[in-house]
Structure 1
């Protein structure tokens, strides 16, 4: 096992940008929502830089780009509702697992580690995506961005997971691809591990100061 797992009793993963590349599906839904509002599409490249703070912030960024100014709350409500409808109809057909993810999750399960998922994606979309890859049985607990009042980078979701399993934060590891994951993990007292291939608003995730970085999650096992 990877040395960063020494003394670790619970592992928590981010989803988008860490386990799966979901941007192709997210971009289709964003562009469809913009079209509903009579606005020009954003395209996948821009959406890739906007992901990470939940679906409402994603649409706020898309609307601001399309309109040249921040959206009103009414426009954001309509845009977000349209996005949720489009994404909910097809949240996974273009999404793919990153290399090494299945090997890591299989290996951790065989080693007896409890594994949780904490994402800022709305909770309703978690199960369909995991089921599409046959991974729903790998996670003992899944939290979405709307499961609690707070979301990452607030440490509350991670502290909730630690308390759920009765593991002290010092015995927990947060694995993610962005500064929000690392900030949440650090604030919760978790050890942190980053992958460099995900979504971090165009910034190197190493700049966020994780305790470790792996090129592939397969390195964990």
Structure 2
């Protein structure tokens, strides 16, 4: 069980936690395959493969396997076509999940520092946050290119803690995939997940985060009171959630 430490900042995942980017990604994948004169791919598969960065996603789409790898020559062409198509869409279909804006506003009013750590490129992550009008809530945005290793490595969380001058266990991680849980555990951070995240089509409860929320609208209340009991879900107990030593700026 994680130590009962006062949480002083919150680290959010972007894709599948704050923002639904799936439609833009799926449309870019469709255009890439068409440009390469390859058959189209079920969009549900593409959606389930989001979360490990663009390079990994392109390999998956071109190989049609979650662990697939294609030759470098094909990957380079496919990656260029995918990024061009994705950028051309300019995040037209990206939208905040219900409850996200209310959550961020409450935490901002309480002066809780917030950070985004994502496997997306930093520039693309900033573009999405600006377009959706929520970039001002975040002190830092750390993308794949700003880190030595992407999630599930804890590098992004450790870098965020360093830049905020906090201990890692003073960060609360909020994500939606097993990568977020594994990164948080490796860094020593408490972790909460949303039930709707991009997680390869697998229920996030199997990854045993400290708590699972159906909407981020309930997250500020969770932070304020902490949880002293194990989360109860249809899959059974997932372990004790970290109890906050003090409420954040009541």
TM-score, normalised by the number of residues in structure 2: 0.83
Q: C-alpha displacement at 1:215, in angstroms?
A: 1.0
Kept in 2, the 8 Å contact 1:91–1:125? The answer is: no
Residue 141 of structure 1: aligned partner:
140
- Give the ranges of 4+ consecutive aligned residues of structure 1 lying more than 3 Å apart after TM superposition: none
Change (3 A) 1:119 1:74: same
Q: How far apart, in 2, do the equivalents of 1:6 and 1:21 lie?
A: 31
Count of paired positions? 215
Q: C-alpha displacement at 1:33, in angstroms?
A: 1.1
Residue 114 of structure 2: aligned partner:
115
Task: Verify: 1:167 aligned to 2:166, yes or no.
Answer: yes
* Structure 2 counterparts to residues 67-216 of structure 1, below 5 A: 70-216=69-215
Q: C-alpha displacement at 1:177, in angstroms?
A: 0.3
Residue 58 of structure 2: aligned partner:
59
Q: How far apart, in 2, do the equivalents of 1:141 and 1:107 lie?
A: 18
Q: How far apart, in 1, do the equivalents of 2:151 and 2:69 lie?
A: 22
Q: How far apart, in 1, do the equivalents of 2:202 and 2:126 lie?
A: 29
Q: C-alpha displacement at 1:123, in angstroms?
A: 1.5
Q: Cα RMSD (Å) of the superposition?
A: 1.5
Task: Verify: 1:26 aligned to 2:31, yes or no.
Answer: no
Q: Secondary structure of 2:32's partner?
A: helix
Q: Secondary structure of 1:146's partner?
A: helix
Q: Secondary structure of 1:157's partner?
A: helix
Q: Secondary structure of 2:116's partner?
A: strand
Instruction: Structure 2: state its 5+ residue gaps.
Output: 221-250
Q: How far apart, in 2, do the equivalents of 1:54 and 1:91 lie?
A: 18
Q: C-alpha displacement at 1:43, in angstroms?
A: 3.8
Q: C-alpha displacement at 1:44, in angstroms?
A: 2.1
More helix by share: 1
Q: Secondary structure of 2:144's partner?
A: coil
Q: How far apart, in 1, do the equivalents of 2:102 and 2:60 lie?
A: 35
User: Which structure is larger by alpha-carbon Rg, 1 or 2?
Assistant: 2
Q: How far apart, in 2, do the equivalents of 1:74 and 1:148 lie?
A: 25
Q: Greater shift after overlay, 177-186 or 144-153?
A: 144-153
Q: How far apart, in 1, do the equivalents of 2:120 and 2:72 lie?
A: 20
Q: How far apart, in 1, do the equivalents of 2:48 and 2:151 lie?
A: 17
Kept in 2, the 8 Å contact 1:53–1:120? The answer is: yes
Instruction: Structure 1: state its 5+ residue gaps.
Output: none
Kept in 1, the 8 Å contact 2:5–2:169? The answer is: no
Change (3 A) 1:189 1:6: closer
Q: How far apart, in 2, do the equivalents of 1:201 and 1:19 lie?
A: 17
Q: C-alpha displacement at 1:6, in angstroms?
A: 7.2
* Structure 1 residues 107-148: Cα deviation after superposition (integer angstroms, max 9, x where no partner): 000011000000111122112211111111011000111221
